Amino acid sequence: MIQTACPLDCWDACGITVDPARPEALVSTPTHPMDNGALCALLNKHMHEAPRITTPRIDGQAVSMEEALDAVASALRSDRSLLWRGSGHLGVMQSVTDLLMERVGGTLTSGSLCDSAGQAGVEAGRGINRHLPPEQIAQAEVVVVWGRNITVTNKHLMPYLEGKRLIVIDPVRTPIAKRAEIHLQIKPRTDFYLAMLLARFSIMEDGEDHAWLERFGSEWEEFYEFTREFRIKAILAHMGLSLDQMGDMLRLIQTHKTVFLVGIPLQHYIQGHAVTWAIDSLAAVLGLFGREGCGVSYMGSSRQGFDNPFAVSLPRVPTVTAPFERFETVLVQGGNPAESMPDSNRVQAALDGVKNLIYFGLYDNETSARARIIIPAKNFLEKEDIRLSYGHQYVTPMHKVTEAAYGISEYDFVTEIVQRLELEPIESEEYYLSAWLDQCREENGQRVLPDYHPLPYADGFGEEGDEAFVFIDEYEDDDEPIGFRRFRKPREESFDGHYWLLTPKSLKALNTQFVRKSEVYLSAECGFAEGERVRLRNKQGELELTVKLSEDVRPDCALVYGSTPGVNRLTPAHLSEEGEGACYGEAKVQIERVG
């Protein structure tokens, strides 16, 4: 039996063993405590249902791999080459292509479509982003699920929530919200204010953790002054929440071991970094860092503590707003930017103008449809790799199980191109695999991150782990409603026909892969009927969808799964103020009947 792990972009990183005689039968083999021994339907789709690209193509014609690689090599002779990498496979070996770009003098991207704004906020407060180990989550008494859809995106955390008191903060009544003791069905884009009000009330009621603050958060009184800039009544009315709800939540989190599980969409805003920073600041007031059974779990940085053998120093453009039109050659690896990037009308036009668009992936999609050169990838059973996780500290080797009938691994792709261009060869595959694995630590017989700490921030913050927590001290939002600050007059908020567009993950799709429906979920209060065709529209673009009525969505929101074809025609290409993150959440839409 050969050990590997699920490569898909998911918090869980499930362990798998495979009998090489029957490579199609994957056996779930938990390699870490967060893995409960069940592989999900997404992996089945990845392995068996999604039709793979089986032959290289140039201008739509099937060619041999040799011819295709020759064409890639000649395209990469351009001095204007860009590599845009998605997150289709989470193995570390995906990044080996950075070494290729270094050798050809190309450009890479920075920031991400996913978590980078929130990561910047976490780093602002804590210095570095350490995982909250699942073992700490297991010991919590109260769990605050803050904008994470656990039953869909992070299933293996469910057993950890058994028997705990649950608070959910989400504009949608998600399955986990239905089971929660308190559900704050918050207006989108207001989590920053909620965190600030909760911190303020906590200090007003003397609920802060004095001993902890003395040691690790000496600036807390300045922070309290900052929270007092925000007007309570106007903000509560705007969020659609009551003082009683604040009180109920505070009573629970001030008196119990509490964990915050923070999700992705609440930081998909221009001020996204301020949201995670404010949530961390609230947690600091309550003394939740470095305490057993407490803490804040945001998407961890899976490479925390590693010396990256693929590190290169090259010019970069933002992943979120990549100016494809400035490049002659664009290599897209493991992603579908034509659909997954915001403002896809702009993105698709820019990709259409690229002379040499190269697509390197497993499946055909909206990006491969535009590519001049298509290189089929190998899947995870056909190559060596190492799986890190953004949800926990465990590291799993991914061994090759079977020979590929077609396709090429990322490592072989780089060596083939480097050879053709007569550039400096890269090291052996084993060299890089060991460079990652040799840095890992052993903890109770498991391989974990190099600087893993069972109780993160127990001794303090920053690179050395001995500094104070830095509280958030500013927030400048150009769109802040009038009346939110002490010195400005309140204004009545009313719905103006522009719905907040929510684009969460769906159960049967993984980002733009697999099952992709074209539906919009609306509250019956919006006045549309089940099955009706509607057009969503804003200044970025428009999209026709079929109405599904749902009691779970706020009447001022339109929920369209992020996997829906064309959904990013409606999202703006803003960059978050910090972290170069995507701002899918800044989209509002008007809705009209079609016909």
Give the residues lining the site for ligand MGD (CB under 6 A): 9-10, 42, 86-89, 113-114, 146-149, 152-153, 169-172, 174, 186, 188-189, 191, 263-266, 333-337, 340, 360-363, 365, 377, 379, 502-505, 507, 509-513, 562, 567-568, 571, 584-585
Six token digits for residue 456? 């993160």
Q: Which is nearer to ligand MGD, 265 or 290 (CB)?
A: 265
Residue 134 interacting partner from Mo ion, ligand SF4, ligand MGD, none (CB closer than 5 to 8 Å by kind): none
Residue 519, helix vs strand vs coil: strand
Contact between 176 and ligand SF4 (CB under 6 A)? no
Instruction: Tell me the C-alpha distance between 90 and 46, whole Å.
Output: 14
Q: Tokens 């003098």 identify what position?
A: 105
Contact between 14 and ligand SF4 (CB under 6 A)? yes
Contact between 8 and ligand SF4 (CB under 6 A)? yes
Residue 579 interacting partner from ligand SF4, Mo ion, ligand MGD, none (CB closer than 5 to 8 Å by kind): none
- Give me the least distance between CB of 170 and ligand MGD, in Å please: 5
String of contacts with ligand SF4 for each residue 102-141, x by CB under 6 A: ----------------------------------------
Neighbours of 443 (CB within 10 A): 14
Contact between 509 and ligand SF4 (CB under 6 A)? no
Q: Which is nearer to Mo ion, 56 or 504 (CB)?
A: 504
Six token digits for residue 17? 């063993």
Angle of the 220-227 helix axis to the 272-285 helix axis, nearest 10: 120
Tell me the CA distances in angstroms from 533 to 125, 267, 530, 548, 591, one per residue in order.
46, 31, 9, 10, 10
- Give me the least distance between CB of 9 and Mo ion, in Å please: 6
Residue 567 interacting partner from Mo ion, ligand MGD, ligand SF4, none (CB closer than 5 to 8 Å by kind): ligand MGD
Which sign, positive or negative, has the C-alpha torsion 96, 98, 101, 105?
negative
Half-sphere exposure of 512 (CA within 13 A, CB side): 26
- Cβ atoms of 582 and 275 within 8 Å: the answer is no
Which of 45, 80, 155, 316 binds ligand SF4 (CB under 6 A)? It is 155
Contact between 299 and Mo ion (CB under 5 A)? no
Which of 34, 43, 168, 582 binds ligand SF4 (CB under 6 A)? It is 43
Contact between 470 and ligand SF4 (CB under 6 A)? no
Q: Which is nearer to ligand MGD, 273 or 505 (CB)?
A: 505
Neighbours of 221 (CB within 10 A): 13
Residue 335 interacting partner from Mo ion, ligand SF4, ligand MGD, none (CB closer than 5 to 8 Å by kind): ligand MGD
Amino acid identity at 203: I
- Give me the least distance between CB of 40 and ligand SF4, in Å please: 3
Of residues 532-551, those binding Mo ion (CB under 5 A): none
Residue 180 interacting partner from ligand SF4, ligand MGD, Mo ion, none (CB closer than 5 to 8 Å by kind): none
Q: Is 431 exposed, middle or buried (0-12, 13-18, 19+ CB in 10 A)?
A: exposed
Residue 6 interacting partner from ligand MGD, Mo ion, ligand SF4, none (CB closer than 5 to 8 Å by kind): ligand SF4
Residue 174 interacting partner from Mo ion, ligand SF4, ligand MGD, none (CB closer than 5 to 8 Å by kind): ligand MGD
Instruction: Tell me the C-alpha distance between 27 and 38, whole Å.
Output: 9
Instruction: Tell me the C-alpha distance between 56 and 441, whole Å.
Output: 40
- Give me the least distance between CB of 394 and ligand SF4, in Å please: 12
Q: Is 590 exposed, middle or buried (0-12, 13-18, 19+ CB in 10 A)?
A: middle
Contact between 169 and Mo ion (CB under 5 A)? no
- Give me the least distance between CB of 293 and ligand SF4, in Å please: 25
Q: Which is nearer to ligand SF4, 14 or 144 (CB)?
A: 14
Residues 6+ positions from 525 with CB-CB distance below 8 Å: 555
- Cβ atoms of 559 and 550 within 8 Å: the answer is yes
Contact between 398 and ligand SF4 (CB under 6 A)? no
- Cβ atoms of 251 and 202 within 8 Å: the answer is no
Residue 13 interacting partner from ligand MGD, ligand SF4, Mo ion, none (CB closer than 5 to 8 Å by kind): ligand SF4
String of contacts with ligand SF4 for each residue 188-207, x by CB under 6 A: --------------------
Of 5-13, 91-99, 220-228, 357-365: span binding ligand SF4 (CB under 6 A): 5-13
Residues 6+ positions from 295 with CB-CB distance below 8 Å: 132, 136, 137, 259, 260, 283, 288, 289, 456, 457
Six token digits for residue 495? 């719905």
Instruction: Tell me the C-alpha distance between 319 and 586, whole Å.
Output: 18
Q: Tokens 């702009």 identify what position?
A: 346
H or E element in which residue 546 lies: strand 542-549
The candidate with the shortest Cα–Cα distance to 552, out of 177, 143, 153, 144, is: 177
Contact between 381 and ligand SF4 (CB under 6 A)? no
Contact between 40 and ligand SF4 (CB under 6 A)? yes
Residues in the chain: 595
Six token digits for residue 319? 């992943």
How many residues touch Mo ion under the rule CB under 5 A: the total is 1
**What is the secondary structure of 279-324 as a DSSP string?**
HHHHHHHTT-TTSTT-EEE----TTTT---TT-----EEESTT--G
CA 388 to chain centre: 14
Q: Which is nearer to ligand SF4, 4 or 415 (CB)?
A: 4
Q: Which is nearer to ligand MGD, 167 or 203 (CB)?
A: 167
- Cβ atoms of 501 and 591 within 8 Å: the answer is no
Contact between 10 and ligand SF4 (CB under 6 A)? yes
- Give me the least distance between CB of 157 and ligand MGD, in Å please: 10
Instruction: Tell me the C-alpha distance between 441 and 394, whole Å.
Output: 10
Q: Which is nearer to ligand MGD, 14 or 266 (CB)?
A: 266
- Give me the least distance between CB of 44 and ligand SF4, in Å please: 9
- Give me the least distance between CB of 514 and ligand MGD, in Å please: 9
Contact between 42 and Mo ion (CB under 5 A)? no
String of contacts with Mo ion for each residue 95-114, x by CB under 5 A: -------------------x
Residue 155 interacting partner from ligand SF4, ligand MGD, Mo ion, none (CB closer than 5 to 8 Å by kind): ligand SF4
Looking only at the bridges linking them, the beta strands covering 165-169 and 142-146 are parallel
The residues of the shown chain that bind Mo ion, judged by CB under 5 A, are 114
The residues of the shown chain that bind ligand SF4, judged by CB under 6 A, are 6, 8, 10, 12-14, 39-40, 42-43, 155
